[in-house]
Amino acid sequence: MPPFIQDLITLLQSEFTSFTGTTNLLNLLDFLKADDLSWLLTIGGFGALVGFLFPTMIFLEMIASGIKGTFRWKNFRMQVIIYFTNRVIGKVITLQLGFTFFAFLQPYSIIDTSVTWYWFIYGYMIYDFSHFLHHYWGHRIRLFWCLHATHHVPSHMNLTVSWSHFYIENLYADIIRLGICSLMGLELGVMIMVYIVDSLWGHFIHTSEELLPDGRLGFLSKFLLTPSHHRVHHSCNPEYIDKNYCNLIPIYDRLFGTYQAELENVPPKYGITRDVNTQSLFDVYFGEFVCLFHDIKNAPSIGNKIAYLFKPPGWHPKAVLTSKNELEDKT
């Protein structure tokens, strides 16, 4: 067998054990043999705990769906495929390049910090702002939306939706997030801990209604971004579109006017506004790029062609809107 194929099989095998939590379970059992809980304060120990809990929650989510009679493999299938695709690509380029960029910018930081609890709070506030920024651009700039739309395509909310990303999106998102954090002086140790906590909560807020019917989490919804808030974010209801960009603390959503609580009389309708073949990897990954290509091709001028790249999704020049309205009037 060629070495490349053997390496690829080995990589896929390691990703499968990671996906099922097998590796993290073995690591967790090793940590549990310790006499105290100091291992929880290490990156390896905390990562093993989180890495085991997340796939366990997914299996519980599937079981809960089965008990309620709502389980459909199609609600999980595409996200699992994307998980393996992105993980293999991410192993090669995404995370490595992101943290390389972080290290490159560190000498230019405008503030000195250290690995302490108060700098961790500072670091999280900076990271959450950088997340808000890249997430907002992902919805309001057409080219970035073409990358981010993959995450919004699923028509059923469950934990595997957190895997559903266009693989290049992680690269540009990490450049924005890690770049800002590096320039604002975050130490690498603090950055990694912030990254883990944010990733853990980012996974959790995608919990399905089968596993967590009321995602408001009681009084915590006043302070934290809950699964209910994120269900709003993933909805294509007019009342919910482009809301709740934050990941853990909705302070920036409240500050910039993008906060929206789930309304009692408006159940979330998941997905995006165009019809998507959710079982087609090509349509899930590239469908928005195809739509953008057609809009640019039919744009009446060079300026409008360029504008399509940077204007919000749904924007059209006046000439195109007039033509569409005339066509609708005729039909």
Tens of pLDDT, residues 88-98 = 555 555 566 77
Whether 279 maps to a domain, the answer reads yes
Distance, in Å, from the CA atom of 64 to the CA atom of 89, rounded to the nearest integer, reads 32
Neighbours of 39 (CB within 10 A): 18
Distance, in Å, from the CA atom of 258 to the CA atom of 252, rounded to the nearest integer, reads 8
Confidence category of residue 50, pLDDT binned at 50, 70, 90 = low
| Pairs from 24-31 (Cβ < 8 Å, separation ≥ 24) | 24/48, 24/49, 24/50, 24/51, 24/52, 25/52, 27/51, 28/52
Tens of pLDDT, residues 236-272 = 999 999 999 999 999 999 999 999 999 999 999 999 9
Whether 21 maps to a domain, the answer reads no
Neighbours of 117 (CB within 10 A): 8
Q: Rg (Cα) of the chain, in Å, rounded?
A: 21
Whether 25 maps to a domain, the answer reads no
Residue 36 has a pLDDT of 61
Task: Identify the DSSP state of 250.
Answer: T
Q: Please tell me the total count of domains within the chain.
A: 1
Residue 195 has a pLDDT of 84
Whether 191 maps to a domain, the answer reads yes
Percentage of residues in the chain with pLDDT exceeding 90?
49
Task: Identify the DSSP state of 263.
Answer: P
Whether 238 maps to a domain, the answer reads yes
Scored b (16 or more CB within 10 A) or e, 227-237 reads bbbbbbbbbee
Residues comprising the chain, all counted: 331
Whether 10 maps to a domain, the answer reads no
Q: What angle do CA 190, 196, 201 make, to 5 degrees?
A: 125
Whether 294 maps to a domain, the answer reads no
Q: Domain containing 201: what range?
A: 72-283
Strands annotated E in the chain = none
Whether 300 maps to a domain, the answer reads no
Nearest to 51 by CA among 76, 36, 31, 68: 31
Tens of pLDDT, residues 145-193 = 999 999 999 999 998 898 888 877 877 888 899 899 999 999 888 888 8
Q: What is the pTM of this model?
A: 0.73
Q: Residue 153 in contact with residue 235, Cβ under 8 Å?
A: no
Query: Who wins on pLDDT, 71 or 2?
Result: 71
Residue 121 has pLDDT above 90, yes or no: yes
Tens of pLDDT, residues 61-82 = 878 888 888 877 778 777 777 7
Span 284-298, mean pLDDT?
95
